[in-house]
Amino acid sequence: MKYRTVRKHTDLVHMNVGPAFRVRQPLPAAGLDQVSPFILLHHAGPQQHAPGALQDRLSPHPHRGFEPVTFLYSGKLHHKDSLGSEGFLESGDVQWMTAGSGIIHSEGPSADFAREGGNMELVQLWVNLPRAHKMTAPRYQDLKSSDMPVVSENGFRVQVVAGDFKGLHGPAKTFSPITAFMLRFDDAGALDVPVPGSHHALLYVLSGSLETDGETLDTANLGVFEKGGDGVRLSARSAGYALLLTGEPIDEPVVSYGPFVMNYPGEIKQAILDYETGKMGVLES
């Protein structure tokens, strides 16, 4: 296997989302606009909440033209949307939502989590849709950790969310070729991961420390792999967990405004109009 080289990114945008979530944003950030088809990555937490302290949820808001994906590492979330879908996520679960032509959704702590408190940590990833599928019908995939294949070897645990690893296939349905692996690793663990030659690939470390291509990626570091190899080698320097993503790039214009990701400015204006006139549906808070 010829291993890919990597560029380490440590610049982060820090923000608050909603009333209680502190968020790191490694993508986009200074010097890094997107890694197509991945256009945004938010890391919320880890954050400890006292019993009864986290009651509020994000109010209903729209999306169009991409797929918001939530990887829940700890805590409990409650999702509902204008399709009538409702999901209850626990640690290790993933929700893969296709906004497509337009969806309105709301999410926040489940009633159990709000009452009991605890630690909450998640990654939200925005995956672009090809132009041919920008206006596809919205859908919601509620992916339970128990339904995802897991490979454990050499101190690594690989939870296969999308794509293939070691002959096992993740349950997420995607509109372009994508792999998504939730990784956990012990001290001194080692793992080789094949990557299709045409794919972009990135690695975000949520906790712990990994070495790849002679670079050490610590907590909240993002590694973007160069093309020119057919795999990556990961070596754990300290135990933790990370998200490894690869995808076929979408060679099309990208224009984004708030919760809309389209190809041209006129389509953004139309998205705003469609939302304001109720064409994306209605969701009560």
Q: Is residue 284 part of a domain?
A: no
Q: Is residue 62 part of a domain?
A: yes
**pLDDT tens-digit series, residues 235-257:** 999 999 999 999 999 999 999 99
CATH of residue 142's domain is 2.60.120.10
Place of tokens 């890094």: 32
Q: Is residue 196 part of a domain?
A: yes
Write out the H or E segment, with its range, that includes residue 201. strand 200-212
The number of domains in the chain is 1
Phi, psi of 146 (to 5 degrees): -70, -15
**Spatial distance between the Cα atoms of 123 and 106, rounded to a whole number of angstroms:** 16
Tokens of 256: 């984004």
Q: Is residue 98 part of a domain?
A: yes
pLDDT score at 18: 65
Q: Is residue 285 part of a domain?
A: no
Report angle CA 66, 72, 74 to the nearest 5 degrees: 160
Helix-, strand-, coil-residue percentages of the chain, each rounded to 5: 10, 55, 35
- The CA-atom distances, in angstroms, between 219 and each of 12, 39, 48, 266 are 12, 21, 18, 39
**Spatial distance between the Cα atoms of 44 and 215, rounded to a whole number of angstroms:** 25
Peptide bond before residue 68 is cis, with ω within 30 degrees of 0? no
**Spatial distance between the Cα atoms of 195 and 3, rounded to a whole number of angstroms:** 9
pTM of the model: 0.96
Nearest Cα to 124, choosing from 99, 143, 97, 103? 97
- The CA-atom distances, in angstroms, between 101 and each of 192, 230, 241, 261 are 38, 35, 34, 11
pLDDT per residue as tens, the chain (285 positions): 899 999 999 999 988 876 567 899 999 998 899 999 999 999 998 988 888 777 677 788 999 999 999 999 999 999 999 999 999 999 999 999 999 999 999 988 888 888 888 999 999 999 999 999 999 999 999 999 999 999 999 999 999 999 999 999 999 999 999 999 999 999 999 999 999 999 999 999 999 999 999 999 999 999 999 999 999 999 999 999 999 999 999 999 999 999 999 999 999 999 999 999 999 998 876
- Do residues 92 and 72 make contact, with C-beta atoms less than 8 angstroms apart? yes
Phi, psi of 6 (to 5 degrees): -135, 150
Q: Is residue 283 part of a domain?
A: no
Long-range pairs for 272-275 at CB < 8 Å and ≥24 separation?
A: 274/64, 274/102, 275/62, 275/64, 275/102, 275/104
Residue numbers of the domain that contains 184: 6-276
DSSP single-letter state for residue 94? E
Q: Is residue 75 part of a domain?
A: yes
Report angle CA 212, 214, 219 to the nearest 5 degrees: 55
Q: Is residue 154 part of a domain?
A: yes
Tokens of 24: 């790191």
